[in-house]
Every structure is written in structure tokens, then in C-alpha cells.
Chain A
Amino acid sequence: MYTEDQIKTLADIPERQECVIVKVNGHGGFRHRVMEMGFVKGERVTVLKNAPLQDPIEYKIMQSHVSLRRSEASHIEVISVEDTVNTSLTDFNGTFSEEVQNRISEKTKTITVALVGNPNCGKTSFFNHATGLREHVGNYSGVTVSSKVGTFYRNGYTINLVDLPGTYSITEYSPEEIYVREYITEQHPDVVLNIVDSSNLERNLFLTTQLIDMNVRMVMALNMYDELEYKGLKLDVSQLEKMLGFPCAPTDSKSGKGIEHVLDHIITVYEETDEITKHIHINYGPNLEAAINAIKPLIAEHSEIAVDFPFRYVAIKLLENDSMTYKHLAQYLNEADIAIIRKTVDEYRNKIEKEFQEDAVSVITNSKYGFIRGALAETLTKETENKEELSYAMDKILTNKWLGFPVLILFLWLMFEATFTIGAYPQGWIESGVVALCSFMRELLGDGILSDLIVDGIISGVGGVIVFLPNILILFFFISLLEDTGYMARAAFIMDKVMHKMGLHGKSFIPLLTGFGCGVPAIMATRTLENPKDRIITMMSIPFMSCSARLPVYLLFVAAFFENHQALILLSVYLIGIVFAILTALLLKKTKFKDDSEQFVMELPPYRIPSAQNILLHMWEKAVQYLKKMGSVILVASIIIWALCYFPTHNSITDQLDEQIASVESNSNMTEEQKDSTLAELKLNRAAAQSEHSYIGQLGKFIEPVVRPLGFNWKMGVSILTGAAAKEIVVSSLGVLYHADLSADEKSEDLKIALQSHSNDSDMPLTPLVAFGFMIFVLLYFPCVASITAIAKEAGWEWAGFSILYTTTVAWIVTFLIHQIGMLF
């Protein structure tokens, strides 16, 4: 396979060496110019010599001598045969040797395709279908922040598909826009596949007009075409192709319909054998066109700029006062030249702004929309009677200012209720399995340290968490359902008004919502917020959105202490988290980050029938992720916590109790019944004494003064500490710690029963009040190490440290108040 390390460009080839051209990169205008000079695929080139300053370089191609600048030569990929021993490029009659032919073929038949489109247009679904990979598809922006690459083969071609972040345009306002723009201009994909939502063409085509300005080889996938037809519309696709200058094909990326057709178009566009592709200019009107034509020659004087960008595109960006374009010019031009260009650009911009009474960016934007409307006026027609869309009808209820919020709460309550009632069945099966496994291992290994490790450590620790897998899957099923139907975006819309009043940016709701799954991607999703202060406020609020790792803790305590109101208690925990997230944002907005406000537009995609495949795939991924965590972090943590709990095995108190046990066993004056009862009590006391004086017991006793006012005993205190690694470990720790002190006769692997058995302890009883307080503490205290590290990477260690201190302090105070006030009743 031809590896990336072996790719060379013409600029890398030394003097007097021969090579073969395999690809010409760059925008359309540049490629056509060099191809006209003879630099085409499959052509042999000899490097004659470098100019004295190493630039330009003289080449021999097609029997003529041609000079190219080094920057231009660096866009032409070649195969060099310098490392092939005894091989020349040709072996008979001037034809290429078989080896070289294979290498040329391999490289020229590799196509890099960039997927570009608005958020929610189906890019990732298209990517998944085409590559066979399984990536999560979200129905709101912020899900795909980074890009992904997938490779597949078609008709002898290797296609590298790059799924870029969704973006509404490619200017310089958000990290995604900058990333997409830089990818296209610096990586020079062979073909750009523009995926548009056909049911919303007018908005989606704005990005298309920007791609047209960039003069890149393009294909368009008219995705969600069925929704366009559902609206009673008809699109003249062939007419649209002619107007835009590149092939278009209807697709439905959910089902995969039409994707094959798009892939065939990609190949023909790459090979330049399709009949449709032509470069068109969007007409910006006489005033703007005059400005563009005046600026172009100033840039054309410096031809090296043309390597990366068409002159027309540069002129348009300069009129928009695009700072990234000026930075790019600074790489090639000196300050004096830039000043001359800037003076001319400013003059024309001022003229335009005076004529139109608005800024140049708006004028250019309006022209683009004018072009779009014009194109759609000629190609898009309504076939059937106007009917009210189901989406609008549903939105009248679901986003109604009075009904919206209660409906959202109702959906969330239903979600939690189903998590318990449906999840109870598989949960019971897994619990029985864990109990059976414990008995089996005890029988197999007999009594001893190894059996204690396996049963009391590993199986109790891991088993205590794994039983919640069905509940987590059900929860994720509902979250995916809400996402894929489009309701999650409505939830964001409903919450937006509330959040604006609370000082949070509307777009913050998406990362916050992601926090219900896991804090790490939620913190990374804050990159979609343009304002860094909004990002920090959102990051500080995310830890209060209860992540799925905490769910096992809630499920355990709710099942043990709140049997009759399980869903309600769980919902209240989540709502308390949301309240504290909002209060945190408000606090930061009113203190550290005053005065900052930013407008934004939030998209409401149409309601869709969710794809069963997507939902099931997402559940499967979550299950695999959860099980991987069981097999790694949780397993290791359980072993370490067991060891800290088991050793030292003896102390003065246990030695005394051992003597008493031996004495009772050998006492022939007691009846069997008396012996059993006394021995049971002595063994229970021994287990408790050993546990309290173990390493972990000593640690627990050390921190007990801190957690005692909250109603927690040392075991709960230790579990809170171990939860720093991963929140599921809270349950594993409780499993290990509470399992150890059950008597041999009533040895039950059910942690719930173990917790309930402590509800009447004379010291620090585990009551429903304490259980609720514990859940709230786990909800509010600092997130896991992975989340803290993510905050540190995004915002710095000062903010990560603040998050640890702030969340733990809030958790302590709130739990203290709950416990102390609760004790009064």
C-alpha cells in the first residue's frame, strides 16, 4: 500500500531526477493553469535545475522546458523511482514498467472526499452508510465537533471520506467554520461533497455559494429528498446542476438510497469525465462585480497567492474584511503591498456601504441569497396543495409558551419511569446471575484469600455496577429517540428562553444536555460556543448535569429506600442538578463575567421518524463502552479497594475475638443453638473490627469528621473518595465494603439488602434521609478525573481547580442542610 510517508511533491524531487505525476491538487483555476502547461496525471517530468535562490525550478515536460514556483510545484504529487534499484521508468517501447504502472495506478485512483454541509443535514449518516462505520448521529449542532476519516473501495478506486464538522457557512466566526475552511484550503481534498437538506434548500445553499467561490471540485447530495417530496415540492435536479455547475443527486442517507449514484459522480468529477462540471461565477451585481474586478489585478500581480486561492475568492473575502485572508496574504506579501491592497479594498467597501446603506458583508450575503432564490425559482415548484406541515402543528403544542415546559418535564418523567419499570426485569436476571456466580466460585475455590478476592472483591465490585447496564441502555434509548425525532432541539428551544434569563447562552443547552451522558464530550462540545466566557460558564455548569456514571448510585439507593416513588425521586435528583447548573451560571454571569451577551440563531429541524438502526447502534455502542469500563477501570478499582479493605487481616481486637471464637467452638457446655447464635455474633463483630482497622477503614475514620455532619458513615465517605476515578466506583466500593461485614450465615450478594440492613444502626443509621443526602452529594460533588482533565485542557488548570473546590463545597453545604433540616422532622 502506498503510505503517506512515500508521497512526494514535485518540489521535493532533486535536480536531474525523473518522476511521474499522479495528482494535481489545488483549486480549479490553479489546476487548470498548470495542466494547460502540461502537468497532467501520468506525465513524466524531469527536474532540470533550481534557480540560484532555489526558486523557481526548471522542468522538462512534454519535450518542452517549463518553470514553476516551488509553492506551485508543492501542489503536484509525484512518484519518484529513486529508491527502486535497477528500475527505470520504462522497460519496453517507452511504456512504463509494471511496477511503476501499479504505483501510478494506486495513487491516481485514491480520492480524498470532504463532506461539507450544515449541521443536521445527514452528513454523518451518509458517512456511516458509505464507509460502513458506526458513528453517533445527533440531531443538534455540537455532536460532531471533530472530523472523522473512513476509507472504502469502489470501482477500483480507494475513497477516503472525511466527515468535517457541520457548519452553516465558512467564515471565521466559530471553531468549526475555521476548521472546515482551513481543511479545504490547506489539505486540498480532491472532491468536496456538499450535503444539503433538501427540505431546507434556501438556507443550505448559502454554504454552497461559498464553496462555488472557492472553485473546488464539487458534487452535491440532495439529502432528505423524501421530505422535500413530502412537502409537496418538486425539484428539477438537472436544471439545478446546470445552474450550479456540478452534479447533484437526490439521496436519503438514513436508508442509503441514492448514495451509490453520488459516489459514481465523485469518481467522474475526479477524473474530469463528467459533462456537467463547469466553473460558474455568482453574479454579485454591477457594484460588487466592479469592486471585485478592481481588486483582482492587485492580487494577480502576486501569482503565488493563486496557488491556494482563486483571485476572485480572495477579492470577495477582502471586501468582507476577512482577517484570515489578510493573514494569508501576509505570508506572501510585504507590508507595503498589503497596505496598497487594503487601501483599494477599503475605498471600494466604503463606496458599496454608502450606496447600499449597509455593510459589505450583508450586501454580499444578500447577493448570494438572491442567486439562491433565483436558482430555486427556476427549479423548485409546488406540486400538491398547500397543507399545514405536521412539524408546525406539533410545534404549536410542544413549544407553546405555556405547555412546552410541562410537556418537557412529562417526557423526562416518562423516560425515568420506563428506565425503572422495564429495566427491573433484566436487572433481576443479571443479579441472579451474579449471585449464582458467587456461589459457584466459592464452591470451586473453597475458603481462602483467593476466593475472598474473587467473590468479595471482583464479583461484588464489578457485579454491583454491571446490574445497572439494562437501566442505562433504556435511558440511552430514550435519549436517542428524543434526539433523532428532533424533539431534543425543541427542548433546547424551550430551555433557551429560560437560559437567557439565567445568563446562559442558548447554545449552551446542547453541551449541558450532553452532560447527561458523559461530562467529557459535553465539555468538549463547549467549543461550539464562540465566546470564550460563555464556554467557561457552561463548563463550570456541566458537572451538575448528572452523568450516566452516577446513575448506578441513584438506582441503588432509590431501589433500597424509595420503593414506592422511584421515578419521582430520580427525577427530583436530576432537576436539582439542573437547578444548580443554572444557579452556577447566574452566579458567574453576575460576578466574574458581567456585560457579555451575544445573539445567536438556533435551528429547529423538522420532526423525523427516527431510524431504528441509528438508535440500536447507539445503544450497542453505549453497552460496549460500559462493558469495557467494567473490564478495565472498575475491575482494577475493585481489586485495589478490596485489598485496602482486606489488609491487614489481624489486629488486637480481631485476635481477641478469634480467641473467643475458638473458646466457644471448643465449649462443650453450650447447646448447639447457643453456640451458633454466639458464634454468629462473634464472627460479625470480628468482620466489623477487621474492616474498621483495615487500610481503607483507617482512611475512612480519618475523613469521618468531615462526612459525619452529613449523616454518612466512614464507608460512605470512602466510597465518595473512590468515586473520583469514575463515579460507578462509588457503587463498587459500597459493594466491597458492605459485603465484607455480612455474617457468613446471611451472606447475600445483594447490596441493596446490605444497605437496608443498616437502617436501624444505633450509630449513623442509613435512613432514607441519609440515602437522599448521599445521592445529592454524589450529584453535586466534583466530577471524575477524566472530566476535570477535560476542563483543564479546554480552560486551564485554574478553572479545573476552581471546579473541584466549588462543586465539593456546594455538595457539602447542600447535603448538610438537607440532613440537618430533615432531622428536625
Chain B
Amino acid sequence: MNETLQTIIVAIIIIAAVVWSIKRIFFQPSCGCDCGKECKEDSNGSKCEGCPLMNQCKKK
């Protein structure tokens, strides 16, 4: 594989990793009742899986 192509692939991977990290730190929605459960989207909207109060998620 030529060097330029390798460099482009590596750059894409690094940028994707950085973007994922930023999204996880700053934009990961957490459950509105603060139970610590991860907020998941489903067909009825955003719900906290396993949340004791079954609240809608509060996005950060």
C-alpha cells in the first residue's frame, strides 16, 4: 500500500477516535433521574433502560 494512502487512513482513524472521545465526554446523554444508566433511543423516544423512574433522558 503506498505511503500517502496509509497516511490518509491513519489520519481518518485518529480523527474518528478524537471525535468519538469528544462525543462521549461532552454529549453522551445521561438519564434524567441521575441513576447513572445510559440513555438509549427506542421507537417510543428516549428512555433510560433500567431506570427506576423510566424518565425521559436529559441530554447533556
List the interface of chain A (C-beta within 8 A of B).
3-5, 145-149, 165, 179, 445-446, 448-450, 453, 520, 524, 633, 635-636, 639-640, 643, 789-790, 793
Contact = CB atoms under 8 A, between A and B. Distances in A.
Contacts of A4: 44
Contacts of B50: 146, 148
Contacts of B10: 449-450, 453
The 3 A-B pairs of least Cβ separation, nearest first, read: A146-B52, A450-B6, A639-B17
Contacts of A148: 50
Given A639-B17, A640-B21, A179 B44 contact: no
B52 to A, nearest CB: 4
Contacts of A450: 1, 6, 9-10
B44 A790 contact: no
Interface string B17-33: 11011001000000000
22 contacts: A4-B44, A145-B52, A146-B35, A146-B51, A149-B54, A165-B52, A449-B6, A449-B10, A450-B9, A524-B35, A524-B36, A635-B17, A636-B17, A636-B20, A636-B21, A639-B13, A639-B17, A640-B17, A643-B17, A790-B36, A793-B34, A793-B36
Interface in B35-49: 35-37, 44
Q: Is chain A's interface secondary structure helix, strand, loop, or mixed overall? A: helix
Contact of B14 (A145, A146, A524, A640): A640
Point out which of A145, A146, A165, A789 has the most chain B C-beta atoms below 10 A from its C-beta. A146
A4 B45 CA distance: 11
A633 B20 CA distance: 9
Contact of B13 (A5, A453, A524): A453
Contacts of B35: 146, 524
A4 B36 CA distance: 24
Given A146-B50, A179-B52, A448-B1, A640 B36 contact: no
Interface residues of B, number: 22
Nearest to A165: B52
Point out which of A147, A635, A790 has the most chain B C-beta atoms below 10 A from its C-beta. A147
Contacts of A3: 44
A639 B14 contact: yes
A145 B33 CA distance: 13
A448 B50 CA distance: 46
B48 to A, nearest CB: 10
Nearest to B45: A5
Nearest to A149: B54
Contacts of B9: 450
A126 to B, nearest CB: 17
Nearest to A164: B52
Contacts of B24: 633
Contact of A520 (B1, B17, B36): B36
Point out which of B1, B13, B34, B51 has the most chain A C-beta atoms below 10 A from its C-beta. B13
Contacts of B7: 449
A643 B14 contact: yes
A449 B34 contact: no
Contacts of B51: 146
Given A446-B1, A640-B18, 14 more contacts: A3-B44, A5-B44, A146-B50, A146-B51, A165-B52, A445-B1, A448-B1, A448-B3, A450-B6, A450-B9, A453-B10, A635-B17, A636-B21, A640-B21
A217 B47 CA distance: 29
A675 B9 CA distance: 35
Nearest to A646: B10
A613 to B, nearest CB: 21
B23 to A, nearest CB: 10
B42 to A, nearest CB: 11
A493 to B, nearest CB: 28
Contacts of B54: 149
A332 B44 CA distance: 34
B25 to A, nearest CB: 8
Contacts of B18: 640
A639 B16 CA distance: 10
A149 B42 CA distance: 15
A633 B24 CA distance: 9
Contact of B3 (A179, A449, A636, A643): A449
Contacts of B37: 146
Point out which of A179, A639, A790 has the most chain B C-beta atoms below 10 A from its C-beta. A639
A795 to B, nearest CB: 12
A453 B9 CA distance: 10
Given A453-B13, A790-B36, A147 B52 contact: yes
Nearest to B2: A448
Contacts of A453: 10, 13
A518 to B, nearest CB: 11
Nearest to A641: B17
A30 B20 CA distance: 54
A448 B36 contact: no
Contacts of B20: 636
Nearest to B14: A643
B24 to A, nearest CB: 8
A698 B58 CA distance: 39
Given A146-B51, A636-B21, A448 B6 contact: yes
A450 B20 CA distance: 20
B57 to A, nearest CB: 14
A449 B21 CA distance: 22
Nearest to A145: B52
A119 to B, nearest CB: 16
Nearest to A642: B14
A293 B26 CA distance: 59
Contacts of B13: 453, 639
A629 to B, nearest CB: 12
Point out which of A148, A450, A633 has the most chain B C-beta atoms below 10 A from its C-beta. A450
A591 B49 CA distance: 40
A47 to B, nearest CB: 28
